[in-house]
Amino acid sequence: MSVTIKRDGPGYVLEAHIRVPRSIDEVFDVFANAKNLEELTPPALRFEIVTPDPIVMRRGLLLDYRLRLHGIPFRWQSEITVWDPPHRFEDSQRKGPYRWWVHEHSFVEDGDWTLMTDRVSYGVPGGRLTHALFVARDLRNIFGYRAVRVCDLLAVSRSELER
């Protein structure tokens, strides 16, 4: 699992990669279930999807969430702007704590394994100082947690990842 964050014009780009010994369909199915987003988010964020069930993932779907960042409550709405199972999907913040947030999830078959890549382009209120003091560390922790939880949901052990 690797996470990198780079400056990109007025904002930043995060890239996270994890390679898991499961089929592309198995890995994509974890993300096709919107409720798994709660499972993939650290408990400290108190992340909760408030969009009523049933949630059918598709292009144009609006998802509403509640969460806490450093104890401050936020509402967040994202739209699924690309839906291309089992290869990729993209969500974009419509309302939330960032100036902008565009998150592309991609999945590539690699033999019996799947390479999962998250690429997030985002802007931060408060600019470089806010990013340096809070956001970069928070995002590294969130995506690190997410990689562990993806493995848990797919019943992948650390020893399998090290092969």
Please determine, for residue 2, whether its predicted confidence score (pLDDT) is greater than 80: yes
Cβ atoms 116, 17 nearer than 8 A = yes
Q: What pTM, to 2 d.p., does this model score?
A: 0.95
* pLDDT tens-digit readout, 69-126: 889 999 999 999 999 999 999 999 999 999 999 999 999 999 999 999 999 999 999 9
Domains of the chain by start residue, with CATH? 2-161 (3.30.530.20)
For 131, phi then psi, to 5°, come to: -60, -45
**pLDDT recorded at residue 163:** 66
Mean pLDDT of the chain: 95
